[in-house]
Homo-oligomer: A and B are copies of this chain.
């Protein structure tokens, strides 16, 4: 998991220690067990634990690899609370999404918040944040907006009317016109709708070396960590990649396909146009997905699938032939 400096993108709003955190969510706390007082600097996922952070979790996962005491777990599950009670500072709440929303909004500014602040110069026809870092050997077209914290490494070409924010663009990446990278992940609680209730998306997008991204695409930033596009991947036009998605190296994704949130994909993916992937599924290496497929579940490496729900392409073809026969 690539680690980035969150405050490069999301400026710190408040300095909070664990007791101030507690006070922020006091009315939704059910139980609490604090081991010691410490400063809360960040929010972590279980995949990448940062020191002095809050971790929101609803399941008991091994944290054996993490032995420091300066993390605070927050859960709404009593068994999780009991399990970790001895080892970490932990808070049991009755609404984990509300806790996440309050705490992350109090820690960081982000661009779904009226008070988020950035500062731009117009350089050769595009607005470039004073807080971005762009290598010398980079081409940027006209009418682009490049926000706070964005890094673009050498050899990359950003065409026209592109919006880049909350992202790191590696070497030799091409991003075509009217594409948006680093926009808000579509994460919220269905029981709590409305623009104010979007769960703060304080992760980023990481585009690795030699990736080509077509025109009018959207790649949303992760909630906490990164949305990742692996090296040498080729993405066509009007493709949507949701928050927290991980795509390995050498992916080829044809136009108008979409990958839902938190899906993780191995290397050498090939996807035909207008295909969709459900969220939170795992796709192995060397998977081929025919056009217009809907992938609804985990897929083993070296599979070729088609249809909706997507199945082995040979089965899919047999079904079509059988249906045709039945029709006569």
Can you name 23 A-B pairs with beta carbons within 8 Å? A111-B157, A112-B157, A120-B142, A127-B160, A141-B145, A161-B161, A161-B178, A173-B195, A176-B184, A177-B180, A178-B178, A180-B237, A183-B215, A186-B234, A186-B236, A195-B210, A195-B211, A196-B210, A198-B234, A220-B237, A258-B273, A260-B273, A274-B294
Q: Does A74 sit within 8 A of B, measured CB to CB?
A: no
Shortest Cβ distance from residue A314 to the other chain B in the assembled complex, whole angstroms: 10
In the complex, are the beta carbons of B145 and A177 less than 8 A apart? yes
Main secondary structure of the interface of A (DSSP, over half): loop
In the complex, are the beta carbons of A238 and B214 less than 8 A apart? no
In the complex, are the beta carbons of A159 and B155 less than 8 A apart? no
CB-defined contacts of A127 to chain B, threshold 8 Å:
125, 142-143, 160
In the complex, are the beta carbons of B274 and A258 less than 8 A apart? yes
Shortest Cβ distance from residue A179 to the other chain B in the assembled complex, whole angstroms: 8
Partner of A242, one of B120, B242, B255, B327: B255
Partner of A327, one of B143, B209, B322: B322
Binding site for B on A (CB under 8 A): 111-114, 116, 120, 122, 125, 127, 137, 139, 141-145, 147, 155, 157, 159-161, 163, 165, 172-174, 176-180, 183-184, 186, 188, 190, 193-196, 198, 209-212, 214-218, 220, 231-234, 236-238, 240, 242, 250, 252, 254-256, 258, 260, 270, 273-274, 276, 278, 291-292, 294, 308-309, 315, 318-320, 322-323, 326-327
CB-defined contacts of A143 to chain B, threshold 8 Å:
127, 143-145, 161
Apart from A183-B237, A194-B209, what are 5 other A-B pairs with CB-CB below 8 Å?
Answer: A142-B145, A159-B183, A178-B180, A214-B218, A322-B326
Shortest Cβ distance from residue A244 to the other chain B in the assembled complex, whole angstroms: 14
Partner of A186, one of B114, B255, B274, B322: B255
Partner of A318, one of B139, B319, B327: B327
